[in-house]
Structure 1
Amino acid sequence: MTEHAKAFSCDSPDGLISIEQACSRAAAYASVIEEHEEVSLCEALGRTLAMPVTSVLPLPPFDQSAMDGYAVRAGDGLPSGIALAVAGRVAAGDEELPLPLGSALRIFTGARIPHGADAVVMQEHVTNVSGRIVLTRMARSGDNIRRRGEDVRAGEVLLRPGERIDARHVALLAAQGFERTCVRRKVRIGVLSTGNELRSQGELLTEASFFDSNRPMILALARQSGGDVVDGGIVRDDPHLIAGALSELARHCDLIVTTGGVSVGDEDHSMVALVGARGRGETLKVALKPGKPAVVGAIGPTAYLGLPGNPVAALVSWLLLGGAVLAALDGRRTRPLPGMRLPLVHAFNRRPGRTEFAPARIVQVSGGSAVEILGRGGSARLKPLAAADGLVRIEPLHAPVGQGDEVLFHPFRDGFTV
């Protein structure tokens, strides 16, 4: 083993490590991106917060009505059957209007509570009689009022560094009046494919070649994850050529992702090329199907991830290992893939020992929703992947899987962003 290669001891008799261990090892090669920039709230979507955000306003900014109804002075309680004259109306955005003694004010959701009022009676809980309201149930002080600062206190830490901003956070920042926020620079991700048999779209095919699908897929996934991508093209199965391509990408990228060449065959050059690019790393044997082999490492501060060559294996490895590396680069915690437990509509025979992922679609059965696995045993097959609604995850010791057994289903609508 060269000085740049890192040895590791396997954690099980068959040399396989868990998915969690693999993700931890991959993430350990990532260096947190420290550069940051200010962007508008619209541009902040999907970015990672670089600085803490502290509230400057209480929310709500004043006591306000939580319902359409009538503002009253309840004091120790207004009993059912009491009649009150309606002295006016207050809508959201109106200036404060004092409540005359012994009266009520028509009030609408979001309106400021009038001076002298301490409760809002829902409009469903009164009857109207000749310009007066009659309560049909007791009103108590505090009823249906959103108190100033009950949601957010002034000076409270709202968001912390490492938070990935989504629409919920945008709403919170906007409610504070913030126009811009500070986020980490986007991760720069270089992607290349290796293989003598691969051709780019638009090139002529020979009898022994086919079009590269992995690189366009990983480029698309990297974009969906919020990264700035660099297309490294296709490199022939030559460790010196691959090493040169890795060295060039390492000059500009925070993460390099390759597909193919990660196993131990004569034409699998990822680890050798990584070392040739003056990198350090390790070959992992993950208790994962598809996607057992992977190479993780770094070239200087640039993280490296070598994924398997079969499309489903490359996709699964990206969602797991790639998600862990991106989270580490962004300085945030790894987000587990979202999922739901659903029954399988058919039996699925498999050997125990590895966590297995397979393309699946949701079907409706008499008891509700269930899942059906598509394209059994085909990690190189793209048609089942395109027809699927997501991936099922089957735990290592769940074998065989019986009809009706529950499996964890990860929908693509959530799981493509890591």
Structure 2
Amino acid sequence: MLPLEEAIAMAAAWAAPLSSATMVPPVDAAGRVLAHRILARLSAPSFDRSAMDGYAVRAGDGLRAGTRLRVVGRIAAGARGTALGPGEAARIFTGAPTPPGADAVVMQEDVRREGGAVVLSRAVACGANVRPLGEDVAEGAVLAEAGTRVDPRLVALLASQGIGSVAVRRRPRVAVLSTGDELVGPGERLRAAAIHDANRPMLLALLRSAGCETVDGGIERDDPDEQAARLGALAREADLIVTSGGASVGEADHAARAILRAGGTARTLAMALKPGKPAVLGRVGGACVLGLPGNPVSALVVFLLLGRALLSGLAGAAPQRPLGLPLPLAAPLARKAGRTEFVPARLVRDGAATRVALLSSNSARLRPLVEADGVAEIPAETTRAAAGTPVAFHPFHGLLC
């Protein structure tokens, strides 16, 4: 079976970066992927400034407690003061530029005001309570690399630099197709032996939350020719097609066969992964294709690993293997070794500690996903683990692209 890391790298390699980009204001870039590296235009702060409300002083080699200084000015944020001479101080407020000659700020709590002067109640050293020019960002430093997904933190950094627009790649357009004779859409009447399609709504919602444009490809019967025709049509309007069902190698599994009949290329994967051992990677025309297993939890896990890697490839970014947070198990674990396993899990409190309680690992059950806070990753070689053994916990909000 294919190791999970190799499968993730392979998926990313099937996707060519989207070439077109557009310029948007930073606030409108949130959720989008940068097309180019961004360098700092300014040092931040762009001048030495006070970190406290207090008094700007010339500390030099240091001022002792009891030193008396004449107050010669007042500097608010947004204003500039005049130069300080020996034995002088200026009232200053947080964020205001230190005046020429000043090299320290004394907190207002550390002085005693006596008319037009202040007396230091403790010693002050050069550089105290001053945020120097470039402390946060140096002019010309790299703020973000191409392929970075913009979030509110980066928006703030870009705005602080006065950057009015950034180049972002266009949003990937992803089509989602469910396959299976047994499937009917939500809201449709169930016939005998039929089930409602849960995968397509789940995947469409997931992709939209990741900032993708989506195409609802509907449901296609278990017929490779009909599936091939649908894939060909979807390939003309999508960068990525995600199918669910038929990803294995049985006689009723048509995902790879349909890709080939559509004139594309395909590779079937047998991954060392549970749930979700089978998957298909392919290409039809200009579109990548990811074939997922039909069981809902399997489809979700494989998409969160391989689908995420494909979206990274389309964005021109290196795929990031989810790392997870090491947290202790709430109860002992026994399992068969051989595959990395992702199990829906809930976080529970145990005194001051947070532990991971595993829920059902049945890949056809959706209820445990709703009850879970994320998934716990059990290494392939693990057969037994005592309560308290650390495992990698992946919160859903960190996995959903």
Common fold: TM-score over 0.5: yes
- Cα distance in structure 2, aligned partners of 1:279 and 1:26: 16
Alignment length, in residue pairs? 401
- Cα distance in structure 1, aligned partners of 2:103 and 2:372: 56
Please say if residues 350 and 401 of structure 1, whose CA atoms lie closer than 8 Å, have aligned partners that are also in contact: no
Within the alignment, does 1:269 sit opposite 2:254 as a pair?
yes
Aligned counterpart for 1:295 among listed residues 256, 280, 285: 280
Within the alignment, does 1:323 sit opposite 2:323 as a pair?
no
The answer for unaligned runs of 5 or more in structure 2 is none
- Cα distance in structure 1, aligned partners of 2:108 and 2:363: 61
Corresponding residue of 1:64: 49
Residues 277-299 of structure 1 show CA distances to partners (whole Å, capped at 9, x for unaligned) of 11112110000000000001111
Corresponding residue of 1:393: 377
Corresponding residue of 1:6: none
Corresponding residue of 1:413: 397
Amino acid at match of 2:329: L
> SS where residue 109 of structure 1 aligns?
coil
**Identity level (%):** 50
Aligned counterpart for 2:61 among listed residues 67, 76, 95: 76
Corresponding residue of 1:356: 341
Amino acid at match of 2:7: A
Please say if residues 172 and 314 of structure 2, whose CA atoms lie closer than 8 Å, have aligned partners that are also in contact: yes
The answer for unaligned runs of 5 or more in structure 1 is 1-15
- Cα distance in structure 2, aligned partners of 1:137 and 1:238: 84
Corresponding residue of 2:172: 187
- Cα distance in structure 2, aligned partners of 1:309 and 1:97: 73
**Between 380-389 and 263-272, the greater mean CA deviation after superposition:** 263-272
- Cα distance in structure 1, aligned partners of 2:39 and 2:154: 13
- Cα distance in structure 2, aligned partners of 1:340 and 1:154: 35
Residues 186-226 of structure 1 show CA distances to partners (whole Å, capped at 9, x for unaligned) of 11111010011111112111121111000011111111222
- Cα distance in structure 2, aligned partners of 1:173 and 1:408: 33
RMSD value over aligned CA atoms? 1.5
Residue 153 of structure 1 deviates from its aligned partner by 2.8
Residue 179 of structure 1 deviates from its aligned partner by 1.9
- Cα distance in structure 2, aligned partners of 1:385 and 1:264: 27
- Cα distance in structure 2, aligned partners of 1:401 and 1:142: 53
> SS where residue 223 of structure 1 aligns?
helix
**Between 165-174 and 124-133, the greater mean CA deviation after superposition:** 124-133
- Cα distance in structure 1, aligned partners of 2:41 and 2:333: 56
- Cα distance in structure 2, aligned partners of 1:83 and 1:182: 55
CA distance 1:226–1:112, shift in 2 (3 Å): same
Residue 379 of structure 1 deviates from its aligned partner by 0.7
> SS where residue 43 of structure 1 aligns?
helix
Amino acid at match of 1:93: G
Corresponding residue of 1:26: 11
- Cα distance in structure 2, aligned partners of 1:406 and 1:154: 42
Within the alignment, does 1:137 sit opposite 2:122 as a pair?
yes
- Cα distance in structure 1, aligned partners of 2:65 and 2:329: 55
Aligned counterpart for 1:242 among listed residues 227, 241, 246: 227
Within the alignment, does 1:202 sit opposite 2:187 as a pair?
yes
CA distance 1:42–1:338, shift in 2 (3 Å): farther
Residue 267 of structure 1 deviates from its aligned partner by 1.3
Amino acid at match of 1:178: I
> SS where residue 269 of structure 2 aligns?
strand
Residue 126 of structure 1 deviates from its aligned partner by 2.7
Amino acid at match of 2:244: T
Corresponding residue of 2:30: 45
Aligned counterpart for 1:219 among listed residues 193, 204, 227: 204
> SS where residue 313 of structure 2 aligns?
helix
> SS where residue 63 of structure 2 aligns?
coil
Residue 100 of structure 1 deviates from its aligned partner by 5.1
Corresponding residue of 1:153: 138
- Cα distance in structure 2, aligned partners of 1:373 and 1:125: 55
> SS where residue 43 of structure 2 aligns?
coil
- Cα distance in structure 2, aligned partners of 1:100 and 1:406: 61
Please say if residues 19 and 287 of structure 1, whose CA atoms lie closer than 8 Å, have aligned partners that are also in contact: yes
Residue 57 of structure 1 deviates from its aligned partner by 2.0
CA distance 1:143–1:391, shift in 2 (3 Å): same
Aligned counterpart for 2:245 among listed residues 238, 260, 276: 260
Please say if residues 12 and 319 of structure 2, whose CA atoms lie closer than 8 Å, have aligned partners that are also in contact: no
Aligned counterpart for 1:105 among listed residues 63, 69, 90: 90
TM-score norm. by structure 1 comes to 0.92
TM-score norm. by structure 2 comes to 0.96
Residue 113 of structure 1 deviates from its aligned partner by 0.6
- Cα distance in structure 1, aligned partners of 2:292 and 2:267: 13
Aligned counterpart for 2:368 among listed residues 384, 389, 403: 384
- Cα distance in structure 2, aligned partners of 1:152 and 1:383: 47
Amino acid at match of 1:414: G
- Cα distance in structure 2, aligned partners of 1:81 and 1:333: 59
- Cα distance in structure 1, aligned partners of 2:347 and 2:203: 25
